[in-house]
A and B are shown apart, each in its own frame.
Chain A
Amino acid sequence: MLQTADGEKHLKALLDYDTRSIVRELKGRGVKIIGIACSYVPEESILGSGMFPWRVSGTQTLPVSRASLYRSPDISLSYTHLLEAILLGELDFLDGIILTDRDDDMRRLYDVVYDLKKFNLTYMMHVPYANHAICVDEFARSLKRLIETLEDFAEAKIDTMKLGHTIQTCNESRRLLRRVYELRKREWTPLNGTEVMKLVRLSMHMPKNDFNGRLESLLPYLEARRAPLKSNRPRLLVSSDELDDLKYFEMIESEGAAIVMDDLDHGSRYLWEDVNPDEEPFRALAKRFLTLPDYARQSTWKRQVERVINWVKEFRVDGVIQLLEPRSLPRAFRSPYLEMRLKKEGIPAVTFTRQYPLGFVEQLRTRVGAFVEMLSASSNNPEVGNGFNDKGRRHRFGEGNS
């Protein structure tokens, strides 16, 4: 077992891990690096072909003048920043990139990236909207086609056994990360929000076996650790999509709160369920990635929101902050429904609009600070109430059986 000083040293070493050095090393060995632009693309498909998956994100620099030549200002900023990163050459180390048709923005991003011809492989995978059996079959076919394309590109054959092996390795990463998440249920979480997000992103950018080994050895230390936080209360859940600027988490926690859970594709949604290793791999992957109550684009709003509510209960969350990128249509359409359901449950929740890299900081800080203060006041004096309970009010949303 790691001693406290050693444990902290190892944790720091892991969190500061230079993932770019791995890229250099892999490139030196002739391993192809494939960018993943969407959480519906299973890393297993790339790992199985002997290539290295890299979850891409946008540039954190401003302005995005190059991308603006191709994209109008009213589209989702995460994609504009991703295009800017491509145009700036930040992702030149990629041999290929895989996108999906998960929303309008990514569909049209594919058109531009394809036209730019920056990568040797630019592939778009189809993701159905619903998750009934026919759509799962169709998605399994989509995955099969993706893997055939990757086989051609890597000049390697991916057999079922190899795929099964990568499924197990990825499941192991998810299992270990879930253990970290379990520890966040404690009164004082072992890792703050920023550290957890770093950890999840590392698992997207490190060789899986290396990551799994390091995290496994760190777990006993994390059992005893107390995260460096100003305060362990109020306990918050952050909900968003494509939120990969860690400064958001730093800013929220600097206001005297603890992020103990998230509803993020770069967070809990990446690791929450395993792929069934005993099932035929394509179908198992299709089921795992399509049937999750995941992104608001899927027709599972009720399940998506219920999962957030369950997390609130399990992690003893005091309040939910939704960071809405207003140009992200699926979430913007779901947002009133999420707010209504949370209010119905008496869960304090607020929605703040956000930029891609942290912007309008002081404005956002004031709002977050006010919310934290309100939660702190109500937890100190339960008689006051939190003013968020909406029980008994007839709301604009019915509960259709859709």
Chain B
Amino acid sequence: MNAEHRGAAHNAAIALIAVTNLRKEFESRRVFGKALRVLAVDGVDLTLHQGDSFAVIGESGCGKTTLANCIADFEQPTSGSVAYLGREVREMSARERKQFRARVQIVCQDTVSSFNPRFTAREIVEEPLVIQGGTLKSARNAIVRNVLESVGLPFEWAERTADRFSGGQRQRLAIARALAPQPELLILDEALSGLDARTQSQIVALLETLRAEKQLSLLHIVHDLALLPSLAGEVAVMRRGRIIERGDARQVLNAPESPHTREMIAAQFWLCEHQGVA
């Protein structure tokens, strides 16, 4: 099925992921009998083709993580649609949805709770494969070795439990786990922010290789503008649930159109300069 779909995507250039007019509303706890409603995502359109790299930037609370969760089917949109290769996610059968979940992987910023502390690195990385089923143990072993080494973790550490990994190592482990089922789209929700610059560049290079060789699509969710130039491709700036500006990464950085984006960039550079002084 996947091969067929991929073929179709190439031929007709059907978008890998097409988000149309997505809205997500949260009902927070009741205060004095009245429910407080928060509109996290307010009418977002977004299209991703195979091999694309796309970055969503915005300050915390702008709705970018909710957008990512909606695309990965972690949360149900209030209205609007997410389509995978032209197929509406919410209309998928349980079987299709399960396959879809292997094709789209998300890596979260929070690595403290994202691994079961009783699991070894091997169990963590092969978990998506085990859940999806259909992979032999020997094949899984090869995949585990492959992805661990590709994110720069030695294969000898495969039997260590998760709590023995440091913060940066856990982040790499999370990326390794996301790569294990060979996804078509990888969503990195602030996944690189916690890492040191060297590791960041290593992983960015790895992802770019995968993008070039295997047509892996990348959706970066970032608040840190400093990373932006190294992430090639398109950028969308989000504010209060809406996309206020989009365009090529360098272009947005060098000549921002909206005043909000300008402010963000100015603040970032002010910070950089003053850090340099201190």
Pairing of A with B: no
Chain B residues engaging chain A, CB cutoff 8 angstroms: none
Q: Hey, which bits of chain A sit against chain B, CB under 8 A?
A: none
